Amino acid sequence: MADYAEVLARVKKVTAEVLNLDESEISETSQFTYDLGAESIDSIKLVAGFNLEFEIEMDEEAAVQVQAVKPAAEFILKYLD
């Protein structure tokens, strides 16, 4: 079973890489668009990055609806369990 803290850390890492941010700028409550400046194309890049990082295949339509870091980690956890 996946550990939430580990998943959260990896979500922050991928988010930082995709959005060219420092991980310290990303909090559990950060919203991808409003807080981190993600554009619509970035949502697709984030989903692809999470798929690679966690070696999963998320439902892309559902995944792009996730708008913040904590919900993204929770969404990914469902695929890992």
- At 19 the three-state DSSP class reads helix
Count of structural domains within the chain? 1
Which residues, at least 6 apart from 73, have a Cβ–Cβ distance to it below 8 Å?
4, 7, 8, 11, 28
Residue 20 tokens read as 């060219």
Strand partners, 31: 68
pLDDT one-digit tens code per residue, 36-62: 999 999 999 999 999 999 999 999 899
DSSP 31: B
Percent of the chain, pLDDT > 90?
Answer: 94
Task: Over range 1-27, report the average pLDDT.
Answer: 96
Task: Over range 11-32, report the average pLDDT.
Answer: 98
Q: Does position 64 have pLDDT exceeding 70, yes or no?
A: yes
The whole domain housing 31 covers 4-80
- Read off the CATH number of the domain in which 64 is found: 1.10.1200.10
